[in-house]
Structure 1
């Protein structure tokens, strides 16, 4: 058997393009090793690229998670006193508190039903938001803790 030459190939793709198989290359030829090493390098590069993409996806998801966690904490601290919210976050039981003085405010929007009949729902929501935002500012100014409970009875023609 006489060895004449080897095809100049660097990848399995080039091998396939020439309709050859790895077994078509002589066993003592370094072309086979070159093709396999190059294929391994390409696979490692692809894995590295996939890892980088996943790492970036995780970074973005982590950033979104941090934003959502901040929103959750903001909402929690808006609804509960800070020491109660902290205890709940730590998984501790919160003991009931007792207050010597307490003020309860009942508010009513005069002719609310007529206003609702004459306005779009978004205008009603904006009006109530504006009104209760002013209450919120006043409680902040006077360092008062509040618990808001808003009950709105919507009357609807034909709702039964």
Structure 2
């Protein structure tokens, strides 16, 4: 939960913070382009140090970046944010299946466990943006929105750490 909030609201954030419309139009594209190396490079490291370890790291990075979003006021810093956030979200979206496989001792149950995992992801994606929109409201409460998103990503990080610890 929380990952798609930034993707959904980044353009509105830019426009509300006096970033030119020309730049704000490209922010989601920048995030998506940055996600490509974010899916490849962390996958390499996941093979070396474990997918849960890498996924925890990128979840933590996404959380930190989301909290940093509160302080962004210039176009350059927002573009740098988009590049870094895109990289971290690419890994965040690409590694869960590998994590489920690594956590499953009984390989015949991987499909069931992956289905349950993605069901919870689906619920999170379904409810997090409407809640974020309510928090943002008509008065544009960006601090509340980024706090909500960062808190959800912190909860994701904690749950990944718990998975890693329970595996040992």
Instruction: Please report the TM-score for the alignment, with normalisation by the length of structure 2.
Output: 0.27
Question: Which structure has the larger Rg?
Answer: 1
Instruction: Please report the TM-score for the alignment, with normalisation by the length of structure 1.
Output: 0.28
**Structure richer in helix, relative to its length:** 2
